[in-house]
Chains A and B, each alone.
Chain A
């Protein structure tokens, strides 16, 4: 098994954190992993993306030619990366701010209004964690408990309040996808808006 995911969006949306936490979680699950951030000269406001490879044997290339999964947090990234996704792969889309929809018909699209959900919970900065909840429900690369522990390790947050808020945000994303998967509706969750 070898699964590659690209996370992309604006700098500041927690894009690198999503990839980092996935890689850490997968490592804790005993997988081989690589986490490759694309680094730029600007610290904020530029575009950010990273590639995570998870496999059960040595990972040859940390670069993804055709990622199985694509997590898109803003519109420019959708245009940049949508054609890279492997046929039959999945695309997770931050539908709170992305109006456009992918032109591809051979990938599953999950529209997650992660900013709205996070805002409703009073924690708009946790939109990326909501997205990770949905992402991991679908991909099952890392179990929720292991992932949340990795998230806390990376954030280094000793504050219980922040950890609890992240848990709640993760659960919200996770439940959202669970509900729609159980209802047999795999793609195009646009209706939940």
Chain B
């Protein structure tokens, strides 16, 4: 199944019943899939909105009214959605946002890139907030993490972003859909008319600075729990590695290919792949840095995740960077040359 469609199918299977979106390459197969599927499930709603901005606010409305809701786009469209994402974070509304990144800044191009790391992991919109960011690297993970994204969004009542790129969206791989968990979301969070009871309101505007401060700390405490509990990563061949390549998503796939080649040539290279970009698996990377002190960060950008690697390592080890921004995707052989160079540099250093 094609990556974009995998996300759609996983979302529907896990109970997503509201989708709003606006066409943009390279993720159009996802809204198209939702348009077809939503009319086949009870209570399913698909809206092609007039803009990215409208789409995210429709999702916010549907979420407030109790629906599992999702929108998707690609880089320029995600910029437009930031107002709504910030608002959902403030109002503690769950929702899933898919970003199939493309080359940027500006309109950029439609090729696979990873230039939106900062935007995704630092909140993206205005204000003091975070979103959980999941970075799948295979068709299977697109399915699993989409389902998990809805569960996490409900559990922590916040927007969750799936950050992938055009290559993940277009690629086809065999996928097995896991059994979705039953939804855990309290009725009392849902706004559906006061009935005979007390009325409630959902708001992001808190004019009293003290109350606003308290709200900010409340969100911060929630983010602290997430940072403790929800980090995920994959470690590949890291046990006896002399060099650790750190990469996520598409870049990690290429890196793995390169590492397998180098392994055949006798080079001990491992891969550290963050699956949650926020929260970043810092502790896990620190543990690895006790065994290895040579790191190469590979991104399809000019260097964004490398800042989190530096923060995690706190000055320990040698950290180098290889980046290919703008939609250029190097082959595993090209990357293997880069890794091998860094590997031997390290040897010289020890001499």
A–B direct touch, CB within 8 Å, in complex?
A: yes
Residues of A within 8 A of B (CB): 20, 23, 27, 32-37, 39, 41, 60-66
**Chain B residues near A64 (CB-CB < 8 A):** 331
Residue of B172, B173, B253 with most chain A CB atoms under a 10 A cut-off:
B172
Interface size on B, residues (CB 8 A): 23
A65 touching B110, Cβ below 8 Å? no
**Chain B residues near A41 (CB-CB < 8 A):** 25, 110
Determine whether B61 belongs to the interface, using a CB cutoff of 8 Å to chain A.
no
Cβ of B330 to closest chain A Cβ, rounded Å:
8
Residues of B within 8 A of A (CB): 25-26, 110, 139, 166-167, 170-174, 253-254, 256-260, 329, 331-334
Cβ of B177 to closest chain A Cβ, rounded Å:
15
A37 to B170 Cα, complex, angstroms: 7
B110 touching A39, Cβ below 8 Å? yes
A67 to B308 Cα, complex, angstroms: 35
A35 touching B172, Cβ below 8 Å? yes
B254 touching A63, Cβ below 8 Å? yes
A34 touching B171, Cβ below 8 Å? yes
Q: Once A and B bind, how many residue pairs between them come within 8 Å at the CB atom?
A: 57
A63 touching B166, Cβ below 8 Å? no
A20 touching B172, Cβ below 8 Å? yes
Cβ of A23 to closest chain B Cβ, rounded Å:
6
Contact of A35 among B25, B171, B253, B333 (CB under 8 A): B171
A60 touching B171, Cβ below 8 Å? no
A192 to B257 Cα, complex, angstroms: 39
B256 touching A61, Cβ below 8 Å? yes
Contact of B332 among A35, A36, A63 (CB under 8 A): A63
Q: Please judge, given known A-B contacts A33-B174, A34-B173, A39-B170, whether A63 and B257 are in contact too, CB under 8 Å.
A: yes
Q: Please judge, given known A-B contacts A41-B25, A65-B333, A65-B334, whether A60 and B170 are in contact too, CB under 8 Å.
A: no
Contact of B166 among A27, A33, A39, A62 (CB under 8 A): A39
Q: Please judge, given known A-B contacts A39-B26, A65-B332, whether A60 and B260 are in contact too, CB under 8 Å.
A: yes
A33 touching B170, Cβ below 8 Å? no
B333 touching A60, Cβ below 8 Å? no
Contact of A63 among B110, B259, B329 (CB under 8 A): B329
Residue of B nearest to A35 (CB): B172
**Chain A residues near B254 (CB-CB < 8 A):** 61, 63
Cβ of B216 to closest chain A Cβ, rounded Å:
42
Residue of B nearest to A30 (CB): B174
A61 touching B253, Cβ below 8 Å? yes
B253 touching A33, Cβ below 8 Å? no
Residue of A nearest to B256 (CB): A60
Residue of A nearest to B336 (CB): A65
11 contacts between A and B (CB under 8 A): A33-B174, A34-B173, A35-B173, A36-B172, A37-B171, A39-B170, A61-B254, A63-B254, A63-B331, A65-B257, A66-B333
